[in-house]
Amino acid sequence: MTDGIPTKGQLLAGRILSGLVIAFLLFDAGLKLVAPQFAIDNSPPNLGWPAEIGTMYLLAVLLLIPTLLHIWPRTSILGAILITGYLGGAIATQVRVGNPLFSHMLFGVYLGVMMWGGLWLRDPRLRALIPLRSAEG
């Protein structure tokens, strides 16, 4: 890597990580928009969210807009910041209801790490903002 420009391998790894996260987020938002009753019926019970179609639409829009921002390279960092906020709310919901740590509570953390890792691997602007230094330098 020279001057913060990713190598071909880093760029490929970043695109794969980002693609996986984006695919999951678009699927989640799309399901809430297209089949809100199905999303309600298949959501874990007792999360504390109203089991209403309007709530599903709201959650879908709150996820879809930052995901679309994240897809577009010029606004990908802004999208990642907004998605991080959404994931924080999802994590807080899981903690509040006492769901299992590794499968439920930390799922948003896993997505966030993959999202930011993929973005860091492929975006020189983020590399400049958050440079990782080797032990030698």
Crossing angle of helices 53-71/76-97, nearest 10°? 140
Q: 3-state DSSP: the chain helix, strand, coil percent, rounded to 5? A: 75, 0, 25
- pLDDT at position 137: 52
- pLDDT at position 86: 97
- pLDDT at position 59: 94
pTM: 0.89
- Provide, rounded to the nearest whole percent, the portion of the chain with pLDDT above 70: 95
- pLDDT at position 22: 98
Provide the pLDDT confidence category of residue 1 given band limits of 50, 70 and 90.
very low
- 62 near 51, Cβ under 8 Å? no
- The 10s digit of each residue's pLDDT in 22-34 is 999 999 999 999 9
Residue predicted with more confidence, 79 or 133: 79
- pLDDT at position 51: 85
- 21 near 118, Cβ under 8 Å? yes
- 4 near 129, Cβ under 8 Å? no
